[in-house]
Every structure is written in structure tokens, then in C-alpha cells.
Amino acid sequence: MRFYFHPDAEAEFDKAVAYYEEQQQGLGLELAREVYSTIARTMKFPDASPVLSKSSRRCLVSRFPYGVIYQVKGDALRVIAVAHLSRKPDYWVDRV
């Protein structure tokens, strides 16, 4: 299985990494590692995460207040959002 980011998800992920890096050197890299680890875990067990909508699921990121919202499309995992858990819920729905 492979994965790819929705363009808006990639932009918000990059923005979050940059924000954490500004707060403390190396912290942005740690967030990136945790997000990619979450994606890898999700690719191994795509049906293990809770359902958010008909075709979307969310897997929580360790150590950071983010969730990876994704869909399985054939043999690929489409990352819809790298969503901060305390911000606008369901803002990503239009990306589906």
C-alpha cells in the first residue's frame, strides 16, 4: 500500500511542522516523524481506526494533538487532513 496527501492536507502538515520548529528546534521534526509513523501504522491496519464518515477514518498521532484523517482508495491511503484536535471539527469534509 502507498499513501499520498490531499494538497490541503500537505500544506497544513507543513505549516504545523514549521510552527513546532519555531517553538523549539527539532520539535517540528519530531511532529513529522510521529505523523509519518501514524501513517505507516494506518497503512498496516487501515480498518483499525474509528470511522468519521462513510469513507473516512481518523488515527491519532502520538505525543501531539493531531489526528490523521484518511480514506482507503484501492491500494492507496489518501490523507485528507492532518487535523489539530482542538480546532474546527469537520473542516476537512469538503476535501472528500
| Mean pLDDT, rounded, for 3-14 | 97
In the chain, the domains with their CATH numbers are 2-84 (3.30.2310.20)
Give per-residue pLDDT as tens, 29-82: 999 999 999 999 999 999 999 999 889 999 999 999 999 999 999 999 999 999
3-state SS assignment for residue 41: helix
| 21, 22, 74 from 6: Cα distances, Å | 23, 24, 16
When pLDDT is averaged across residues 75-95 and rounded to a whole number, the result is 89
What would the grid cell of residue 49 be?
481506526
